[in-house]
Chain A
Amino acid sequence: MSPTEQQISEYRRQEQSITLSAVGDPPPEGPHEELFTLNFGPHHPATHGVLRLLVTLQGEVVRSIKPVVGYVHTGIEKTAEDKAYWKVIPVVERMDYLSYYFNAMAFCGAVETLAEVEVPKRAQYLRVIHLELNRIASHLIWLGTSALDLGAVSIFLYCLRERELILDLFEMSSGQRMHTRYFQVGGVMEDIPVGFERKLRDFIEIMPGRADQYGAILNSNEIVLQRLRGTCPLDADTLLSLGVTGPLLRAAGNPWDLRKAAPYSSYDDFAFQIPVGTVGDNYDRFAVRLAEIYESVKIIEQALDGLPEGPHITTDRKIALPPRHELATSMEALIHHFKLVTEGFRVPPGEVYYPIESPRGELACFVRSDGSSKPARVHMRDPSFVNLQALSRMAEGSYIADMIATLAMLDPILGGIDR
């Protein structure tokens, strides 16, 4: 049956109920000027995902931006309510698909706080190594795609070349290249295999030099500099009122970094610096993230040098699976294994909010437990979702080409925004 005219028009009418009446200034006086509303996205390579922007233009100048999101909403938070705690980890990892270790870390940290699980030191160091590798990988994708938006094609290939090395390391430690499910409640899934350390040392040997190359290529490129320097600045106070954190806030001169301010997972053991910018323009956003790659390499090196011996996951059998070899000899191990796999572990009732510093800002996981083996509510405070609100403040009044550069420097991940 074909849809009737009336039904379709009703659907289209509702679709078009996104009003544009409140957008922008009233059209200026005079016969030659009028505002032009451009539907930018959702399928556009420069939106870094399925992001739709209703952009109101006056000539080439952006007067207002209204982001429309939700195209890749998959109900992950709802799904998580229907799964045992340890089965939630692979689900939440798929939110922000470039920083999956961070999603897992926020969730595991929240559950560990609720259940009062102590994470062994070795597991904390292994987590730091993987988190910082993931931060570099995420920044490499950001750098490559941002440069691509500015017309520099080759740097994208260079960045993916180094990211491959990181994904090889992830594959080595967990068997997966993305969404590795490596972090578990209470520690990490497996200890790092033989040969991982040598390969990781090779990587941290070459990475600073490669980052030097990116910096040299882009910092001596006249076009890149012209498009980044002085475009779309926003001061730290406005950013804070909009809830923006992470490299965007640090680029404006506020050195807020949760790794330093409220250290988790042994970050206070490592010496590293927080790169900050001065004016908060697009160039500072670029420079801060590039400098963070070096700091992450430093952290990885220290974590690898100081990697303590010991278990890689908590020895609390009520939380973590027993080692495979115990199943053949120990009845208790078998019972624990059965209970954990069928029902999962129970978590005391209560609510926690666990913030960490993701590559994009404060990523926090709110978990409410009702005492059962499934969370009653999982909410991710995703930095991309909050940071996106700053786009209109940054780019209004500038040229549409600068808006593209600003969106690239904002680094939104739509999987994280829509969840």
Chain B
Amino acid sequence: MPDATGLELLAKELRDENTVGSEAILGTLHFRARATLEVRPEANRAVLAYLRGRGYASLMSVHGVDYYPHEPRLGVHYELLDMSAVDRVTVTTRVSTDAPALDSVTPDGPDGPGWPTANHQEREVYDMFGVVFAGHPDLRRILMPEDYEGHPQRRDFPVGGEPVIFTYNEHESFGVTR
């Protein structure tokens, strides 16, 4: 992990970088040896592309977090790994539930190659939190059924209370009577 100073230097480098923009980095956090860069939602691709050039060439994980009741509620975390320096850095971004849109990092774009590993994981974040990844090649639900309503990992989504659907009562499914 970069130490606290290294993280600040990295953030300064990013602010000075033309492709990223001086406004893109909202803050840094160094907590329990985990270095986190919080970026604006529109800058996620540019920041990841720059960090790839800095050696963080592997995207190990993409996951969503619901920060309810704090706004903007939905967070998306990108865990980057530098295999030669054995170093990790996390890029996070937050979007609101009203307009949960984010650029997908999966496909190649004008700002550089994409991260094909994010394909399944962005689908999972879409499925569970409802973040819509613009440009994703195949944005469908992945774990929940195709006709499911709602995004179950949101904090205000209730646990349980939902009928189990078999063939004999499939017409009771809200996916059908909708």
Question: Interface on A for B, CB 8 Å cutoff?
Answer: 1, 3-4, 7-8, 10-11, 14-15, 17-18, 22, 69-70, 73, 75, 77-79, 81-82, 113-114, 116, 240-245, 254, 256, 261-262, 350-353, 355, 362, 364, 366, 368, 376-377, 379, 381, 385-386, 388-389, 418-419
Contact = CB atoms under 8 A, between A and B. Distances in A.
A18 B140 CA distance: 9
Q: Which 7 A-B pairs have the closest CB atoms?
A: A243-B117, A3-B171, A381-B61, A70-B143, A379-B63, A73-B143, A14-B147
Nearest to A361: B60
A17 B138 CA distance: 13
A79 B117 contact: no
Interface string B64-103: 1110000000000101000100101010000000000000
Contacts of A362: 60
Contacts of A388: 120
B77 A242 contact: no
Contact of A242 (B33, B117, B140, B155): B117
B32 A352 contact: yes
Given A10-B176, A242-B117, A243-B58, A69 B79 contact: no
Contacts of A355: 60
B90 A386 contact: no
Given A22-B138, A241-B116, A419 B143 contact: yes
A15 B146 contact: yes
A389 B86 contact: no
A419 B157 CA distance: 18
A11 B60 contact: no
Contact of A70 (B61, B79, B115, B145): B145
B109 interface: no
A116 B155 CA distance: 26
Contacts of B79: 353, 364, 381
B32 A377 contact: no
Contacts of B153: 77-78, 377
29 contacts: A7-B171, A7-B176, A7-B177, A8-B170, A11-B173, A15-B147, A70-B142, A75-B152, A77-B128, A78-B152, A241-B116, A243-B59, A245-B60, A261-B83, A350-B32, A351-B31, A351-B77, A353-B77, A353-B79, A355-B60, A362-B60, A364-B60, A379-B61, A379-B64, A381-B60, A381-B61, A381-B63, A385-B121, A389-B117
Contacts of A377: 65-66, 153
Contact of B34 (A17, A82, A243, A353): A353
Given A22-B138, A364-B79, A4 B171 contact: yes
Given A10-B176, A22-B138, A386-B120, A116 B171 contact: no
Contact of A364 (B61, B143, B146): B61
Interface residues of B, number: 48
B166 to A, nearest CB: 12
Q: Please indicate which of the listed interface residues B57, B61, B116, B124 has the most CB atoms of chain A within 10 Å of its own CB.
A: B61
Contacts, number: 123
Nearest to A70: B143
Q: Please indicate which of the listed interface residues B57, B66, B143 has the most CB atoms of chain A within 10 Å of its own CB.
A: B143
B164 interface: no
Contact of A389 (B66, B120, B140, B159): B120
B28 interface: no
Contacts of B124: 385
B143 A243 contact: no
Interface string B140-172: 111111110000110101010000000000110
Contacts of A18: 140, 146
Contacts of B27: none
Nearest to B140: A18
A265 B73 CA distance: 35
A11 B157 CA distance: 24
A366 B159 contact: no
Given A353-B79, A366-B77, A418-B143, A386 B173 contact: no
A7 B120 CA distance: 31
Nearest to A385: B120
Contacts of A70: 141-145
B144 A353 contact: no
Contact of A353 (B90, B140, B142, B143): B90
Given A78-B159, A243-B60, A366-B77, A352 B34 contact: yes
Contacts of A79: 159
Nearest to A16: B146
Nearest to A370: B67
Contacts of A262: 86
A1 to B, nearest CB: 8
B176 A389 contact: no
B86 A261 contact: yes
B170 A386 contact: no
Given A78-B153, A241-B116, 4 more contacts: A7-B177, A353-B34, A381-B61, A386-B121
Interface in B9-68: 31-34, 36, 57-61, 63-66
B175 interface: yes
